[in-house]
Amino acid sequence: MECIGNVKASLPSHQFKTGLINQYYSDEIKASVDNEPNDDHYDYSFTIEGRIPDGVDVVFDDRTVSFEGFPVQSGRFKFKIFLDIDPLYPESLICVEYSTSREYEMIIDSN
């Protein structure tokens, strides 16, 4: 049996805003499923490896990963986000790439 479509987990290319130490920081990315008009028909599971500045919280909400808080350290923070998707309504003729990852960098400057 051959696939009639190829959908895959996707994380966007994103340049995070430059933040300032001890000032409120907020930014986010939104995951999607390529070649799928119904992105919301999937469960999204994220993990992060690497460094996030102290004082910045990571919040996972459905397809969105938000970074918010008051960073207490300056520097360049490199991290990798891993995404796994799980279709709510699996279709046997659709080929799915269930996992992906992407590297990001957040810069926090001193005042």
pLDDT digits (tens, 9 = 90+) for 66-92: 999 999 999 999 999 999 998 887 766
Query: Tens digit of pLDDT per residue, the chain (111 long)?
Result: 466 667 889 999 999 999 999 999 999 999 998 887 777 888 999 999 999 999 999 999 999 999 999 999 999 999 999 999 988 877 665 677 789 999 999 999 997
- What's the CA gap between 81 and 49, in Å, rounded? 7
- In which order are the strands placed within the sheet that holds 75-87? 19-20, 99-109, 75-87, 42-50
Domains of the chain, CATH where assigned: 5-109 (2.60.40.10)
What residues are paired with 41 via a beta bridge?
Answer: none
- Taking the C-alpha atoms of residue 44 and residue 76, their distance in angstroms, rounded to an integer, is 27
pLDDT at 71: 98
What percentage of the chain exceeds 70 in pLDDT? 92
Position 92 scores a pLDDT of 60
Residue 93's pLDDT is: 52
Q: Phi first, then psi: give them for residue 54, nearest 5 degrees.
A: -55, 140
Full-model pTM: 0.88
